[in-house]
Amino acid sequence: QSVLTQPPSVSAAPGQKVTISCSGSSSNIGNNYVSWYQHLPRTAPKLLIYDNDKRPSGIPDRFSGSKSGTSATLGITGLQTGDEADYFCLAWDNSLSAGVFGGGTKLTVL
Amino acid sequence: QVQLVESGGGVVQPGRSLRLSCVASGFTFDSHIIHWVRQAPGKGLEWVAVISGDGTTKHYADSVKGRFTITRDNSKNTLYLEMNSLRVQDTAVYFCARQGSGLDNWGQGTLVIVSS
């Protein structure tokens, strides 16, 4: 049972938009930054969003992040088959003094 | 360019120990906080431990606290994870990751299999 809650899976057609939610509490998301990662099998995870809503250089603006209260959301527009992957949110938890990941969301581009 | 290369994984029996290494290059190593993250087979990412740039501050996941120790040798640009009293549940690919703005650079991972 992950501290941060994500839907196990989401799906959408190519070209469409999808959002992935990440729900936590005041000890993590509510008072700390959220980052998002894309993970393909047998590869290193890739940073997509940091500090809730900022994109590293090289990440297309199809990817966006937002945070409200104790929840965060990753948005992906103009879906491509290459976006099929697992997506994880991460935040620091002040009560645990530990990093906490969401359980991950598998994106299927139909 | 920034590079992180893990090593030290392998097959080990329950209760035994293993030390993982992560060699960094392409950036000022001692200026960065570094994390260990793992992924068990068929599972999601799990945060394991973190160490400050000077090595004085460390934090651990409850699942490894008291068994794993994170250290670093800044003179060698190397991060370590000493894993003791290994359990079958510790079987995973272990990644080291640099904290810049988010965990912005990751190694490719090293596989640890705990099995009798």
Query: What's the pLDDT score for residue A2?
Result: 87
pLDDT over 90 (residue A1): no
Indicate yes or no: CB of B102 within 8 angstroms of CB of A35.
Answer: yes
Q: Which residues of A touch B60 (CB under 8 A)?
A: 98
Q: Name the residue of chain B whose CA is nearest to A43's CA.
A: B108
CA B89, chain centre distance (Å)? 16
What is the rounded distance in angstroms from the CA atom of residue A15 to the CA atom of residue B73? 47
**Nearest-by-Cβ selection for B46 from A50, A96, A101:** A101
Q: What is the pLDDT of residues B45-97, one digit of tens each?
A: 999 999 999 999 999 999 999 999 999 999 999 999 999 999 999 999 999 99
Query: What's the pLDDT score for residue B60?
Result: 98
Query: What's the pLDDT score for residue A44?
Result: 95
pLDDT over 90 (residue A41): no
**Tokens at residue B102, please?**
């988010």
What share of chain A in percent tops pLDDT 90? 95
Query: What's the pLDDT score for residue A42?
Result: 82
Q: What is the pLDDT of residues B2-12, one digit of tens each?
A: 999 999 999 99
Indicate yes or no: CB of B45 within 8 angstroms of CB of A46.
Answer: no
For residue A73, with 0-12 CB atoms within 10 Å meaning exposed, 13-18 middle and 19 or more buried, which class applies?
Answer: buried
What mean pLDDT do residues A82-93 have? 97
